[in-house]
Amino acid sequence: MNIDFHYGVIYILARTASFDRADAETIAHACEYVDDSTVTGTLDFKSGQSFERFASAHKMLDHKNMIRDSDKRVWAPFHFLPACEGDTFEEKCVCRPDSKTARTIVKEAIRQHEADNALHRLGVTLHVYVDTWAHQGFTGTISPNNIVHKLHSENHDPEGLLAELRRKVSAAKDLAESELADMVSRLGHGAALHLPDFPWAVWGYTNGYGIDIERHNLPNFMTAADMAYRAIKGFRSDNDNYPDEEGLPNGVKQALEQLLGENRSDDPQKRLEALMASVEKGDIPRLKEDVPIYVAKGPRSWKFAATGITSHSDDGDAPPVWSQVFEESDYRKFHEAVKDHRAFVTGTLLPKHGVRLA
């Protein structure tokens, strides 16, 4: 899924579940930031303090995607959660919608509702949770499940998406086109291009095992929205049996389904802007307001507010100044949530089901 769902829809769900604007923004921002937090390693401060971070994403055309250790540590726990179904390691690594492992991470986030970064942990968890619907059938490891043959779509032209990929390949000076093509054909849903993330897409393919797969995204996305809403309500009521919570109100569900189905720009940012405009007009029942702008990097971002770093790509030219502002920041709380989530998934949850990835 893209920013229109991870930020826009999650914000709508949180507000519909009676979170105030500030808390809804925190949950939605953390949910989307999972896709944008690409800087890893230690952040060193001028006075000697330091803070360890773990990137929850790599860019699709990042050479790190070709490193087996890196894909297991990033893509599997944050974007293609193994369902741990089947007998072999290969089968267990496949991502399945609303799997037993997916429900377990939601319950764990709910149990941590009193932590100082509980909203950030909920946002991180919701990102992983809803992606189990969009990324079903693929894995966060190098796998034949990720090979795509005979890609087709009823309502989109795969050739146009391929042309976009070729442009990106041409712009990546450090890797040969053949290397990049091989990379995206084996990792996640790279070879399926953006079709898994378009809410309206009806599409299909044959995977590396020769299995024909047909997908209709909109019903899957709406189920994801409904279950995410139940999870958010469960968090509010401290009820880790969240599937028993009442689902999305019918009016909200109908309005959201129409918006996701008709908002068909290939650009996820434009889809988000259209979704935000609909909220501002009152197209979602009982919700008519300006949606806070999401800023991933640079000035006005969480990182800038915590450290003063303005760089869009790294930690700047000089170490930042540490202060209590950093300790209380969304940036620090988000990264702690990422580390907590990863530790639980890779160190506790998956090994219980015979999957050891880190």
Three-state secondary structure of 58-70? CCCCCHHHHCHHH
pLDDT for the residue numbered 220 = 98
State the Cα angle at 347 between 345 and 353, rounded to 5°: 70
- The CA–CA distances, whole Å, from 125 to 77, 101, 117, 140 equal 10, 12, 12, 16
Q: Extract the runs of DSSP E, i.e. beta strands, from the chain.
A: 41-44, 50-53, 149-153, 202-206, 212-216
265 confidence band (pLDDT: 50, 70, 90): very high
Mean pLDDT of 138-160: 84
In angstroms, rounded to a whole number, what is the distance separating the alpha carbons of residues 286 and 108? 30
pLDDT of residue 338: 98
User: What's the pLDDT score for residue 60?
Assistant: 47
Question: Distance (Å, rounded) from C-alpha 153 to C-alpha 144?
Answer: 21
Q: Are 294 and 30 in contact (CB under 8 A)?
A: no
Residue 300 has pLDDT above 90, yes or no: yes
Q: How far apart are CA 301 and CA 312, in angstroms?
A: 10
Measuring CA to CA, which residue among 251, 257, 223 is closest to residue 102?
A: 223
Distance CA 216, CA 133 (A): 11
Please count the other Cβ atoms lying within 10 Å of the Cβ belonging to residue 104: 19
What percent of the chain stands above pLDDT 90?
Answer: 77
> Which range among 88-97, 121-130, 249-258, 304-313 shows the weakest confidence by mean pLDDT?
304-313
Higher per-residue pLDDT: 204 or 184? 204
The region of weakest confidence among 38-42, 44-48, 180-184, 243-247 is 180-184
Helix/strand/coil for 211: coil
Give the other-Cβ count within 10 Å of 194's Cβ: 19
**Contacts with 70 (C-beta within 8 Å, 6 or more apart), sequence order:** 58, 64
What H or E segment, with its residue span, contains residue 344? Answer: helix 330-344
Lowest mean pLDDT among 22-26, 73-77, 148-152, 188-192: 188-192
Q: For residues 327 and 314, which has the higher predicted lDDT (pLDDT)?
A: 327
Give the model's pLDDT for residue 314.
Answer: 83
Q: Return the bridge partners of 104, or none.
A: none
Under the banding of pLDDT at 50, 70 and 90, the label for residue 175 is very low
Residues 183-210 have a mean pLDDT of 81
Average pLDDT score, the chain: 89
Terminal CA-CA length for the chain: 25
- Mean pLDDT, residues 319-339: 97
Spatial separation of the C-alpha atoms in residues 315 and 335, rounded to whole Å: 15
Q: Is the pLDDT of residue 123 over 50?
A: yes
Q: What is the pLDDT of residue 273?
A: 97
